[in-house]
Amino acid sequence: MTYRVNKGKPTKLQKLHWWLLHHGRRRLVTIESLNGLVTFDSKDKAVGKHIFFRREYDVEEVKRTVQLLEGHGYIDPHNPGMALNVGANIGLITLALRRHSLFEHVMAFEPVPSNFEILKKNVAQNGYSNEIECLAMALSNKDGEITMELSGENFGDHRIRSSADKGHFHEEQRETISVTVGKLDSLIDQGKFENERPGLVWMDIQGHDGDFYSGAKEVISRYHVPVVGEFWPYGIKRAGFSSTQYCEIISWLFSHYYDPKGEREFCSVDSFASMFEKYTGPEDGSDIILVNESWKH
């Protein structure tokens, strides 16, 4: 591969190259990276910009997280099941889960058509079409259709619309589209887990977590699935969940959580309310791991 992972500051030449790409005509750009051969939209100022400069996206985080869960007995290395990437965007985490962890099979969920087409392209051009199944849908607490609001620059910040009130990021001004939505639990009846059980959920759905859990209780509890997800209090509250409601629903499913930015140990979910006190700004948050101690292998 003709690339080098860049952990330092971008050079002036790299910055100029990005500026020309981003401000030129809109097009798809394909580069080599640690995640694999990756295509992204030149107008994506978040995920696209990150992968362009760094030539990797959260690969070490994926490896560390899977190793942590394996080490604590929440993932069986001999029978890990399949990984579910919820809010897969263009597939960078999906590729990392398949390429750099235990999981041979991944199911990737992405509802926004423009992201979904790039997701499928990234899966195919890395030779994973038989190992990764892509589903064009959002996951929530109902089956049918739902409204998504689209971010103009950060294509990883498209969100299920729960409020049209004025927001910190001017969400009320965003373009909206209708997309397919479903409950994760509904996939049991569709036979999606007949041949292989889910072994991990890796989720980034911009605060819609509460409704996701409401529609995923059966899958998570039946198959003992640890969940890795973004914890973003601003997004959670804008999605219509209070801190009390959020704590109640995760307490129903999980016994412990792990905050990589906090203490280096799993903590009881009884103390989870403190996370809302810790991350108070509209851009504050962390990536968390949620498990149930009774699931250990």
Angle, helix 92-100 to helix 59-71, in steps of 10 degrees: 50
For residues 93 and 57, is the Cβ–Cβ distance under 8 A? yes
pLDDT (0 to 100) of residue 1 = 53
- CA 222 to chain CA centroid, Å, is 22
pLDDT per residue as tens, the chain (297 positions): 567 898 888 999 999 999 999 999 999 999 999 999 999 999 999 999 999 999 999 999 999 999 999 999 999 999 999 999 999 999 999 999 999 999 999 999 999 999 999 999 999 999 999 999 999 999 999 999 999 999 988 888 899 998 888 999 898 999 999 999 999 999 999 999 999 999 999 999 999 999 999 999 999 999 999 999 999 999 999 999 999 999 999 999 999 999 999 878 999 999 999 999 999 999 999 999 999 999 998
pLDDT (0 to 100) of residue 161 = 93
pLDDT (0 to 100) of residue 169 = 87
pLDDT (0 to 100) of residue 93 = 98
Question: Distance between CA 8 and CA 19 in Å, rounded?
Answer: 18
pLDDT (0 to 100) of residue 4 = 83
pLDDT (0 to 100) of residue 256 = 98
Question: Distance between CA 148 and CA 87 in Å, rounded?
Answer: 12
